[in-house]
Structure 1
């Protein structure tokens, strides 16, 4: 089982990251899916997407849960039947799950130069401290995207905008921590964020 990394940010929270090295058949043989999810995975056009979906179920198993313990609400937010909070992500060859007594969000993204072309779509305030000549520019953009995606998953409120409502204070890639805010309508909330890099990927997670 290629459990790549396990992180315990606090006594009530665990992050597990999976490196997807198995074939579709190997992953399918190692888990048991609810009938509707078995149909769902067969309908996925990309084997990469199928393997990402199945690796998340392997991570659930590593936490001691089954596929049947997971369900989604009307906004697409995942929940566990025992009431613990969960967030899920997968990107290419990595997947991750965070489970906590507190509300959480997590995201993994591959570091790719093309993010520089869409930065204007998800960044506003952060342009005050970002500069394209920064050697870590692409990595910082990726980290900011991951932070905002993790906040979006945690907040789970329709209408939340990465650009308008989520902001990330200045940080260094080497810090592996930062602070972010959600400022949405009459709600303003501060979050401590952790992020890490590995094998050309960035992962960030937020805990309320």
Structure 2
């Protein structure tokens, strides 16, 4: 399967989606892994998480247009980074899709989620009352998923643990569209960062994506 969707944000920032239709061994053959990575994916084998891990790495390879080994590590906060290549990256996956965002100049964050009604039951766990107040009844589920994906993308972009979606990431009111932007703020202790978050609905999935303002 080729890249399903690709969007350029600016001259050196873009994201892409990969629909995972391959078997795991097909994806595995497209990668170069060191011994530690081989041991790690062996533990994941025969699970959906295994396909997701492989899918994000294959997509990353396609976006970077390289056949060389990509040394992709994860820091103490769980944020992935490239050891020897000059890119900031963010990875996400949900059911049949993998998503990757890259930039040479900005920290980035991306999240993809399959749209399901269950989000309404947990909305109060990641949104404050004033945020719930601007959610319209029309397209309510989609609107809530934009909020979740936006907060997740901001969380990933910042790259620090112990950030609460409800208590530290704030969204300004916005109306739902299939493709739009919203304003967000991450505030915790001395940290106070503003973000402009893009979002789009792709089939029955929602994607939120953001690059750090400089």
TM class by shorter chain equals over 0.9
Structure 1: give runs of 5+ residues left out of the alignment.
none
Q: Is the 8 Å Cα contact of residues 6 and 14 (structure 1) preserved in structure 2? A: yes
Q: Is the 8 Å Cα contact of residues 77 and 153 (structure 1) preserved in structure 2? A: yes
CA distance in 2, matches of 1:141, 1:45: 33
- The answer for the alignment partner of 1:71 in structure 2 is 73
Q: Is the 8 Å Cα contact of residues 70 and 82 (structure 2) preserved in structure 1? A: no
Q: 2:112 aligns with which of 93, 108, 115?
A: 108
CA distance in 2, matches of 1:13, 1:198: 20
- The answer for the alignment partner of 1:166 in structure 2 is 169
Q: Is the 8 Å Cα contact of residues 24 and 47 (structure 1) preserved in structure 2? A: no
CA distance in 2, matches of 1:14, 1:192: 15
- Tell me the TM-score normalized by structure 2: 0.90
CA distance in 2, matches of 1:181, 1:42: 39
1:142 aligns with 2:137: no
Kindly tell me: are residues 192 and 34 of structure 1, through their superposed partners in 2, closer, same or farther at Cα, counting changes over 3 Å? same
Question: 1:67 deviation in Å?
Answer: 5.5
Question: 1:2 deviation in Å?
Answer: 2.4
Moved more, 43-52 or 187-196: 43-52
Kindly tell me: are residues 67 and 43 of structure 1, through their superposed partners in 2, closer, same or farther at Cα, counting changes over 3 Å? farther
- Tell me the TM-score normalized by structure 1: 0.93
Kindly tell me: are residues 156 and 14 of structure 1, through their superposed partners in 2, closer, same or farther at Cα, counting changes over 3 Å? same
Deviations 1:55-82 (A, max 9, x none): 1111121123556321111111111122
CA RMSD of aligned residues (A): 1.6
Q: 1:121 aligns with which of 111, 125, 129?
A: 125
Q: 2:198 aligns with which of 181, 188, 194?
A: 194
Structure 2: give runs of 5+ residues left out of the alignment.
none
Runs (4+) of structure 1 moved beyond 3 Å? 65-68
CA distance in 1, matches of 2:181, 2:169: 16
Q: 2:189 aligns with which of 175, 185, 188?
A: 185
- Aligned residues between the structures: 206
